Amino acid sequence: MAVAACLARFREDYDRRRGTSLEDPQRAHKALQAQKAALARLRDPNSRSCDGVKSQPEGEQPQESASVQESVQSSPIHFKSKEELDVMRKEMREAQRMKMRETARARAEMEVDCPIFLSQRMRRMLASILKSPLSEPAVGEFDSSALEESVAKAIAALTFNHNLPPSYVQYFLNSAPELWKGQQESHDEQVYSCILERVQRELREDPPPNVDTSPSPEDCLRNLQAAVVSLKASENGTYGTGAAHNEDVVRQRRESAMPKAWFGPDGMDEDLYTFKRVMTNKLPIAQHKTEITELIRDNQIVLIQGETGCGKTTQVPQYILEAALRMQAEAKRPETKTTDLRRPVRIVVTQPRRIAAITVAKRVAEELGEKVGEGVVGYKIRGTTVASPKCKLLFCTTGVVLRRLANEGSKFMFSPKTVTHLLVDEVHERGVETDFMLTFLREIRANRPNLRVVLMSATMDTECFLKYFSLPVKVAAVGGEALKQPPMVVCPAFCHPVAECYMEAINTRLGRNRSPEAKSPDELRREHTEMSESDGIDYDLILKIVEEIETSPEGAWTFAPESMRAAVKDPHRGAVLVFLPGLGEITQLMSKLTDDSTMSSKWWVLPLHANLPPEEQQQCFSTSLPAGCTRKIICSTNVAETSVTVPDVTVVIDTCRERRNQVDRHSNTPMLREQWCALDSLKQRRGRAGRVQPGVCLRLLPERHLERLDAVSPPEMQRVPLENVYLQVCASGIADRPGFLAKTPDPPDELSVLFAEAALRDLGALDPLQPDGLTPLGRHLAALPCHPRLGKILVLGCLLGEPSPCLSICAAMSVRNPMMTTQDTSKRASWQSARMEMVAEIGTRSDHCAWAHIVQEWRFGDMKQRELCKKLGLSFERMASSMFERRHLLESLVQVGLLPGNFKDLEWEQKNKVPNWNLVRAAVVGGLYPNIIHVSRQMPKFQSSTMMDKAKYLTYQVLQRHVKMEQQSYPKRLNLHPNSLMFGHDQFHCPWLAYYTIQQTSKLYAYDVSEVSPFALLLFGGEPVFNHGQIEVGGWATFKCKGGKQLVPLLKAARSAIQEVLERKLEDLKFDLSSSKELRACIELLKCNGLGFRTKDPADIVRCGDGQDRDFNEFENETAYMTRKDDEHQERMNQVWADAKKLAEP
C-alpha cells in the first residue's frame, strides 16, 4: 500500500502542476526533474518515507543528493516475484478505484443543490414591468439571483452551448470568489475560460456526459443574444379570439330556457315515417320481441341479458322504433285523449367504443333499407355527426351523451329534446362514464316518467342493477313497503358446448399426487382475490398438459369426463390458447414450450398482447401452419378475452389470473396488480374455445375455489383516479359533489374523492365560492375532451405561444403509448438506438418533448411514416389515433377561443419551425404539477464507466401526500420505467422531474418524465417560500438561492401577473394575449432561464419534400378512416372464420 499511496500522491502533485507547467518549458523541465528524484527515492530503501517527501518551492532547481545518485548507479536491479507483482498491481488498482470513487462523490456533492440564476439586468427589467419594488442583493457572498452581466453571460454560454449543469457552475463559482467579485462585462471571457479549465481539471476522471469542455469563446459568447422585452404589442397569429359558438359549459350561468333539440325534428312530423324492414333475421332475440316491447311500454327501466350473437344490439332498437312509431300514430287519432305520446321519437343507443357505434348504425340502416345519415338512423361520435333532420334512432358513445347532459344542466337533464328512449349497450363493462350516466338516470327518473331506459349486456351484474333501480312500493296486504325490481329478459344464444376441467381432473389424468398449485381455502377466505407467494404459475404443468393433448388419441377431451365429451371430427385439430397475466409470463412459458420438450418442433408458439406489432398479431389468426408444425399454441394476456377473437381455438388453458388496474386507496397511486379473475372473466375465456366447434377449457384452479371468487370484475369507478369525474360533476351543476358520487351503483372510496378534489385544487380548477365550484380555468378544463392535467398543458401552451407541440404531447398521452415492444432482441436494440439518437438530436431531457418531435416528423418529415414507425418501433395505428385525437383537441381549443379558426393553416406555414423547448417544458411542468419527482445521486461503491451503469446510482423519489394531513406527507421511492426515453440517463441539469403516469407493478414506475426548469416551477407550481437559504415550492421542490428572501416578492408579482392574464383571457375570449407586456416578460424569463442571455433561435428545418405525400392523410375524415380500417379487418376476419369453419366441418 505504501508504494501505491506514493504513486497516487505524485500523480496528484503532477496534476496540480500540469496546467501551468505545460505553458512554460523551464517549469516543465523542473517538473520532470522532480519526478526523476521521486523515482530515485522509491528505489532507495534507506530514503525517507513517502509521507515525508516535500515538493520543491517554485523557482528552485530540485537537487539530488550524492548518496541518492550513487544508490541509483551502484545498486543492482531487483526483479519482483510474480506474487509481489500481483500484490503491487492490486494495490495500484485499489488506489485508482479509491480515487475514482472520491471523484464520483465530489460529483454527487456538486449535484445536491439546484441553483436559481437571475441576472441583475433581468431582475431590474422584471421589477420595472411588473411594478414590483427592487431589493438590493446581499453584499460579500455569491448570490445567484443577482448576477453581474459578465458572470451571467458566461453562465449562459456554459449551460446553453456546453451543456454544463447549473449546479456544477455554481460549485466552481463558490470555490473561486475572484471570478464573480467585482467583475465587469469585459471579463466574461475570463470567467468562461476559468470555469471550463476547472471542469477539465477536477472532473477529468469522471467527466459529465454530453458536456463539451473545449473552450470556444468566439462561438459560445459572441453568438448569445440578450433578452429584450418590447413594450409594444406583438403580432402573434397563434393567439385565439372568441368563437361564435363557444361551449356552454365554459359559461358560469346557463340559460333557463329549454335547450334545442339534440337531433331529429323539433316538433311532430306532419308526414309520419312508415316503419319498413327490407332484411329479416332469424336471431334468438326475435322470440322475445313481443315481451320486450310490452315491458318497455309498461316499465321505465328494463334489463335485457342476451348472450353474444343473440341480436340484441341491432334488433332491440328496431323493435322500440317500430312500437314507438305505432303508438305515435295512435296518438294522432282524434279519439286519443292523452297528449304524452304526441312528441317526436328520439331513441339514443350508447356504445362504449366509437367504431361499434358506427358499424351498428350502418347495419341497422341497411336492414331498414336506407343509408345511414340520410333517413331515420344516424350516429354521433366525438367530432363527427352523421344524422339527417329526420333522424329518430341515434347511435353514439357514452361520452357524447354525457357532454349533452352537462350542457342541459340538472334542470333539463334527459328532457324529451334529448332522448325519449335510452338504450345502454354493453353495460357490463361498467366504465366511469356509464356509471356516471346511470347515476344521473337514477336521480332524474322521478321527474321523467315518460323516459324509457333499457340496459343490455351479455354478462351484466344483474343483482347490482336490479337492486340499484328498485323502487319502494306500498303493499296493502301487509301495510308496509317492498322493493319493486325492474323486469328482466334473458335471451340465450347458440354456441358449441365447452367442457370445463379443473385441477382435480387434470391431476388425475396426469397422475399427479401433489396438491394443486393454488391458494388454500383459508387464504382465499382472508383475501380471496390477491395473489400469494404460493401462487406461482406451474409452467411444467402447462407443458405436460400440452404434451398430453398432443399424444393422447382423444386430444384435450382426455381430461373431460365421459358425460361431457362431444363428438368432434378430429380432436387434434385446432389451436391452443393459454391465458397468462402478462408479458413476463408469456415469455417464460414460450421458452418452456420451445426449449424443454421433444415435441417443440411440431408446435408453432406465438405471443399475443396489446403492445405486439400488428404483423406479429396477424400471425395468430393464420390457419395455415408452417411446414412441419401440427399445432398452433397462442400465449396471450386477457386481450384475447374480449378485444381479439381467434376463431380456430378449440382448447383454452386458463391460469385464471390477470393483471388488473387499481388505485391504492391510501396514496391514490394507480396499480397493476396480479389477481384471480372474476367469474364473468372466466366465462368469457371459456367461450373462446367454442367458436366453431365443441371445445375444452382447462382451468388451473380447484373447482371448489370458484365459489370464493368475485362474481364480476370491479367497476372502473373503483379502479381509477377520479379527477375527470369530479370535474364533470361540478360542470353539471351538482352542488353536493361527494354525495352524488356516493350514489353511484358501486361508489368509490371516500379517500379517492378527496384525492380528486385535492388534485383539482392544485390545478387551480376549483373555487368553492362559485355556484358550480369552478374557476374560469376549471370550466375550460371541463370543456376540453381530455384529462384535466392535459387540459391545463394545452391552456398554458396557448398562453406561452407554443400550442402545436403541446397539442402533440397531449394527444400522445391521451391514447395508448405508440412505442411497441418485441421479443426480437436485435429489433429491440435497433429501436432503442434510434430512440436515443432522436433524444440527443432534440437536446432536451424530456419524454414529452420527444413525443412532440416524433409527431412533427410524422406529419412533416421527409421519411415515410411507415419507415419512421419501423425505425423507432412505433405502432402506425396508434400514431394515427393520436393524430385524430390531436385534431379533436385542436378543434376544442378553437371552439373555446384559445386558438384562431385558421390555426391549421398557420401550422402548415410554420411546419419547419423548431419549437422553443424551454417554453414547451414550462407548459408541461405547469400542467403536471404537483406530480414532481426528486432525483439524487447515491455515493457509488464502485466507479462505473458506462452511462447506463452510472444511471444505476440515481435514486428517484416522489412526495407521497396525505390527503387529510399535509404535514404527514413523506417521500416515496420509485423508478423510471425502461419504456421511458429518459431511462439510463445519468445526468439531469435540474434534479426535479415532472411526470404524468406512474403505476405500481412489481415496483413503482414513472413512465414519462420531463426535466423541470426552475422558473417554470416557481411561476406555475405552488406558492414559493424562502426557508434557510432555499426557495421551497409546495413543501417539496427546493432551489438554492441565498438572496431568495429578496427574490420571492418578485416571483409572486410574476405569478399574479400570469394569473391575471389567464383569467382575463378565459373570461374575455377576445382578449389578445400578445398585448400583455407582463406575459411577454415572463416568457422571456423562461426562454433565457433567468440569465438575460440565450442562444439565437435555431434556423428552420430544411426538408426535401412538401409533406403532402404521406402514408397517413391527417385531413381524412376520422369516421371514413375508422370505417375503412374496420372493413379491412372484417374482410380478413371473414376469411379467417371461413378457414376455421372449414377445418371444423365433419
Nearest Cα neighbor of 16 from 27, 1, 4, 5 is 27
| Backbone torsion region of residue 1022, taken as left when φ is above 0, otherwise alpha when ψ lies between -120 and 50, otherwise beta | beta
Lowest-pLDDT range of 236-240, 569-573, 1057-1061, 1118-1122: 236-240
* pLDDT at 296 > cutoff 70: yes
Task: Return the pLDDT at 705.
Answer: 87
Mean pLDDT value of segment 236-260: 49
With contact defined as beta carbons under 8 Å apart, do 911 and 860 qualify?
Answer: yes
Question: In the prediction, which pLDDT does 1070 show?
Answer: 80
Name the band, by pLDDT with cuts 50, 70 and 90, for residue 53. Answer: very low
What is the average pLDDT across 871-893?
89
Residue 580 has pLDDT above 70, yes or no: yes
SS (HEC) of 590-613: HHHHHHCCCCHHHEEEEEECCCCC
| pLDDT at residue 995 in the model | 95
Highest mean pLDDT among 263-267, 1006-1010, 1068-1072: 1006-1010
Compute the residue count for the chain. 1146
CB atoms within 10 A of CB 615: 7
3-state helix/strand/coil string of 173-238: HHCCHHHCCCCCHHHHHHHHHHHHHHHHHHCCCCCCCCCCCCCCHHHHCCCEEECCCCCCCCCCCC
Query: Has residue 330 got a pLDDT over 90?
Result: no
Which helix (H) or strand (E) segment is 386 a member of?
strand 384-386
For position 1056, what pLDDT does the model report?
93
Instruction: Kindly give, in sequence order, each residue whose CB lies less than 8 Å from that of residue 172, ignoring residues fewer than 6 positions away.
Output: 179, 195, 198, 199
The average confidence (pLDDT) of the chain is 81
Mean pLDDT over residues 133-147, rounded?
A: 75
In this predicted structure, the answer to whether residue 176 has a pLDDT above a threshold of 60 is yes
**One fold for 262-491 and 498-712:** yes
pLDDT over 60 (residue 48)? no
Give 377 or 85, the one with higher predicted confidence: 377
Q: What is the mean pLDDT of residues 99-106?
A: 72
Thinking of the domain 262-491, which architecture would CATH place it in? 3-Layer(aba) Sandwich (3.40)
What pLDDT score does 1081 carry? 92
Q: What is the pLDDT of residue 475?
A: 63
Measured CA distances, 171 to 26, 57, 181 (Å):
33, 30, 15
Residue 1052 pLDDT > 70, yes or no?
A: yes
Each residue's pLDDT tens digit, 21-41: 445 566 666 666 766 676 666
Q: What is the C-alpha to C-alpha distance for residues 560 and 580, in angstroms, rounded to an integer?
A: 22
The answer on pLDDT for 444 being more than 50 is: yes
pLDDT of residue 543: 93
* The pLDDT value given to residue 710: 87
**pLDDT of 245 over the 60 cut:** no
pLDDT for the residue 266: 76
Terminal Cα distance for the chain, rounded = 85
Identify the pLDDT of residue 523.
Answer: 45
Residue 668: strand, helix, or coil: coil
Q: What is the pLDDT of residue 451?
A: 92
Q: Mean pLDDT over residues 37-50, rounded? A: 54
- Highest mean pLDDT out of 62-66, 184-188, 230-234, 1012-1016: 1012-1016
The per-residue pLDDT for 519 is 45
Q: What is the largest CA-CA distance in the chain?
A: 138
Q: What is the mean pLDDT of residues 707-729?
A: 87
Mean pLDDT along residues 908-912: 85
**Average pLDDT of span 163-172:** 86
H or E stretch at 956: strand 954-960
More confident position, 854 or 960: 854
Average pLDDT over residues 42-63: 47
Percent of the chain with pLDDT strictly greater than 90: 23
pLDDT at 334: 63
pLDDT at 1105 (0 to 100)? 65
Which single residue is written with the C-alpha cell 531487483? Answer: 78
pTM above 0.85, yes or no: no
The model's confidence at residue 799, banded by pLDDT at 50, 70 and 90, is very high
Q: How confident is the model at residue 291 (pLDDT cuts 50, 70, 90)?
A: very high
Q: Is the pLDDT of residue 60 over 70?
A: no
pLDDT higher than threshold 90 for residue 1009: yes
Average the pLDDT over 727-733 and give the result.
Answer: 86
Answer with the residue of higher pLDDT: 1097 or 331. 1097
pLDDT, residue 522, reads: 40
Surface-to-core class of residue 1030, CB atoms within 10 Å of its CB (0-12 exposed, 13-18 middle, 19+ buried)? middle
Chain segment 604-645, per-residue pLDDT in tens: 999 988 777 777 777 888 888 888 888 899 999 888 876 667
CATH of 498-712, one of 3.20.140.10, 1.10.357.10, 3.40.50.720, 3.40.50.300: 3.40.50.300
Q: Is 656 exposed, middle or buried (0-12, 13-18, 19+ CB in 10 A)?
A: buried
- H/E element holding 397? strand 393-397
Residue 1012, pLDDT above cutoff 90: yes
- Residue-level pLDDT at 1010: 94
- Name every residue whose Cβ is closer than 8 Å to that of residue 515 and which is 6 or more positions away in sequence: none
Q: How far is CA 382 from CA 23, 160, 398, 500, 781, in A?
A: 72, 43, 10, 42, 17
**How sure is the predictor about 251, in pLDDT bands with cuts at 50, 70 and 90?**
very low
Residue indicated by cell numbers 419534400: 1105
Q: Name the more confident of 219 and 334.
A: 219
Task: Please indicate whether residue 1106 or residue 219 has the higher confidence score (pLDDT).
Answer: 219
Phi/psi of residue 410, each to 5°?
-65, -25
CB contact at 8 A, 392 and 421: no
Q: Which of 84-98, 423-437, 972-986 has the lowest mean pLDDT?
A: 84-98
Cα atoms found within 13 Å of the Cα of residue 722, Cβ hemisphere only: 30
Query: Band of the pLDDT at 984, cuts 50, 70, 90?
Result: confident
> Where are the domains positioned within the chain?
2-78, 117-226, 262-491, 498-712, 718-759, 760-1095
User: For every residue of 136-163, which 3-state class applies, written as one string?
Assistant: CCCCCCCCCCCECHHHHHHHHHHHHHCC
Could you count the other beta carbons within 10 Å of the beta carbon of residue 931?
20
Only one residue has cell 432536451, namely 844
